[in-house]
Amino acid sequence: MRHAPTILHLDMDAFYASVEQASKPSLRGKAVVVGGLGPRGVVATASYEARAFGVHSAMPMGQARRLAPHAAYLVPRFTLYRSISEQVMALLRELSPLVEPLSLDEAFVDLEAGETAWDEESARLAGIKLRADIRAVTGLTGSVGLAASKMLAKIASERAKPDGLVLIEPGSERALLGPLSVRTLPGVGPATGDHLRRAGITTVEELAEAGEDELVRLVGKAHGHGLYAMALAHDERPVVAEREAKSVSVEDTYDVDIHDRLRIGLEVQRLADRCVGRLRGAGLSGRTIVLKVRRYDFSTLTRSETLRGPTDDPTVVREAAARLLDSVDTTGGVRLLGVGVSGLADYTQEDLFAQAEPLPATEEPEEPVAGAVAERPEPVERQWRAGQDVQHAEYGHGWVQGSGVGRVTVRFETPQSPPGRVRTFLVGDAALGSAEPLPLVGAPGQASSEPDPASLPKSWSGTEGGGATSRP
């Protein structure tokens, strides 16, 4: 294992919630919860202000509302999160060709491979510069861990949260790991943790003291050897550069089970279009179309169809998804639908091979009853979701605070403005429409959401800001 602390782990602080606070001046310093807002929704991210009430990611949204009833509850805006993530990842790739993203807001970087750092001091300077660059480009904060291995770098970034930098000095690894829970180590989930606890092993130090033979007996040969090595602070896993995506997919979970077969078909078509949009946005095509259906009883079915060549044609994907839906029994209702494309390529062959097959013939409708009047479909009421970007012809850019009983409440403000005023409109107001998110950091000359450097926390014990608690 290398001894210089040149593995960097970056973890953006409460990423989705921090983006929303930076985007919405009235929410800065307030409790913000991002996730699915329906009865089956779960928390994706909670701001640190919301975490003070006990709200955390993966918690059912209903429980979060009971714990923090006055928090702002917003739907995710993944298009904006992805664009900011791309800015952050670009900064990481300036440091090294070896960048291993784990999610939109988290990645490992091998600084030595990029000749950015080779010892403790150069690694610390690289981490300080990265945090400053992220703040300048995005207006957001990230926590950085530096160590001689991926495992230790991730532990360091957790100790740095929020908004800090921690470097684990060579030679101090065993002392740092010893008192930590075994759950800190990679690969130790709830089941393994419980199994070790029943054997009287709860800390990393106790794991090391148990010895390799005992760990092999407890958890098996492969896992036992690996656990013992990590307990001794040995982690040889390399930083692996970003792998190509294997598939592109989208899915939606519905608050109420969908029973109407026509609506299910329309939802599948809509998901197919969204999937193709992502596919084209990544400059890819694919040859296998996948349909995912989770039924009322939580059973999940997947169906796939492989074309003769890759495609990014929305008609081809829609019709393939429709054929797959025909083979699925949706009696009783569905609670989740998804459409994906795999077998990806960076070119298309639809002109030669991947032409859509004709849809199977549908049953003829029953003869209309004499004298019956054809029903006209009722107009669909516009849907406004909390957190959604909107534009008003008179008041400008804003975001939806809430809607109901035929009305929608909007707060008009931008990332560079002071907290804005609230106004209420009819949901069908022609002057109000959806809008694209605004950049978090304004053009030169505009006010910035970046905090005053004088207000940032000072260094402590080799730490650039932040504290020693583990808060993702």
Per residue in 307-364, pLDDT tens? Answer: 888 888 889 999 999 999 998 988 888 989 999 998 887 554 433 333 344 333 333 3
Residues 157, 167: Cα–Cα separation, whole Å: 9
Do the Cβ atoms of 402 and 385 come closer than 8 Å? no
Which pLDDT belongs to residue 243? 61
Please say if the pLDDT value at position 116 is more than 70.
Answer: yes
> What pLDDT is attached to residue 224?
85
Least confident of 49-53, 179-183, 187-191, 288-292: 187-191
Which range has the top average pLDDT, 38-52, 118-132, 268-282, 355-369?
118-132
CA distance readout (Å), 437 to 121, 238, 385:
39, 37, 14
Q: What is the pLDDT of residue 419?
A: 95
Of the spans 139-153, 211-225, 370-384, 442-456, which averages the highest pLDDT? 139-153
Active site residues: 106
Q: What is the mean pLDDT of residues 99-103?
A: 89
pLDDT reported for residue 245: 64
Residue with token string 């490992």: 108
Q: What's the rounded mean pLDDT across residues 246-274?
A: 89
**Res 401: pLDDT:** 94
Flag whether pLDDT at 399 surpasses 80.
Answer: yes
Give the residue-averaged pLDDT of 34-47: 86
193: which 2 tokens? 């943790």
pLDDT above 60 (res 368): no
Q: Is 345 exposed, middle or buried (0-12, 13-18, 19+ CB in 10 A)?
A: middle
What is the predicted pLDDT for the residue at 426?
94
Positive or negative, the CA dihedral 263, 269, 273, 276 is positive
pLDDT band at 242 (very low <50, low <70, confident <90, very high): low
pLDDT of 244 reads 60
For 80, list phi and psi in degrees, rounded to 5: -70, -45
Would you call the peptide bond into 76 cis, given omega within 30 degrees of 0 as the criterion? no
| pLDDT at residue 8, rounded to an integer | 97
51 within 8 A of 64, measured Cβ to Cβ: no
What pLDDT does residue 346 have? Answer: 59
| Cβ atoms of 173 and 205 closer than 8 Å | no
